[in-house]
Amino acid sequence: MSKLVIANFKMNGSKDFIESWIKDFFAEQESANSIIVALPSPYLLTFNNRGLALSGQNVSNEDSGAFTSQLSAEMLKDCGAKYCLIGHSEARQFLTETNEIIKQKFDQLKKESLQPILCIGEPLKIKEASKTTDYLTEQLDLIDSDQENLIIAYEPIWSIGTGLIPEINDIQLAIDSIRSKFHKPIKVLYGGSVNSSNASSISDKTDIDGLLVGGASLNPKEFAKIAQLC
């Protein structure tokens, strides 16, 4: 079955960089998997209709109004985004987002028929205390267990940008615990130090539905390889 392979550019790139990234990516890309690119929002409109499904990296929990610096779900939709990341650990940390706010963002996206990609994951001290499953459960508490078409990205915080990935068994345990919270089939992705050397083992040895790739996605050839291996 086709998997979802998502590039999260974070706050990287420029108009020229993305232009040449698209050219190089399509020169290498042979995967039948679905590719999504989470661009920095100023570039969404520019690179809409270029053969890539686009995602925002965050959205406001409000409809509109006096919220300087924020972007509404409607604006993201206008710019061509079909998806949006929410709850990324970097947004939780730097923007002090709580599970309540993230749930409001989820609802805003649903209202505009955008697909949320809800990111969850534990910090190192929780992993070391063997409390990962409880922590993930808490992060999902506010999401209706009957919700359809959910996409959850499991990204252990200690794995992001560190080159460390969990044991394959631990990834599968996290996936199982996430799936068990919901009554309908959901898509669960893995993110955290994914590259072309570990993508196929994560993908083949677990029942993951796709990968969310940060640093390695900035290299279009590497990302095309990951998409093929997933």
Residues that bind ligand 13P (CB under 6 A): 8, 88, 155, 160-161, 191-194, 212-216
- For the bound state, the minimum distance from the C-beta of residue 153 to ligand 13P, rounded and expressed in Å, comes to 7
Question: Which residue number, 57 or 72, has a Cβ lying nearer to ligand 13P?
Answer: 57
Instruction: Tell me the residue nearest to ligand 13P as measured from the CB.
Output: 214
The minimum distance between CB 166 and ligand 13P, in angstroms, equals: 12
Residues 188-208 as b/e (b if ≥16 CB within 10 A, e otherwise) read: bbbbbbbbbebbeebbeebeb
The answer to whether residue 183 is catalytic is no
Phi, psi of 130, rounded to the nearest 5 degrees: 55, 40
Task: Find out whether 143 and 180 touch, Cβ atoms under 8 Å.
Answer: no
Residue 188 C-beta: closest distance to ligand 13P, Å: 14
| CB closer to ligand 13P out of 80 and 121 | 121
User: Would residue 88 show up in a list of annotated catalytic residues for this protein?
Assistant: yes
Beta carbon nearer to ligand 13P, 75 or 85: 85
* Least distance in angstroms from the C-beta of 68 to ligand 13P: 26
Taking the least distance from each CB to ligand 13P, the nearer of 116 and 192 is: 192
Give the tokens for residue 174.
Answer: 């996290």
Could you say which of 90, 97, 122, 155 is catalytic?
155
Which positions are catalytic?
88, 155
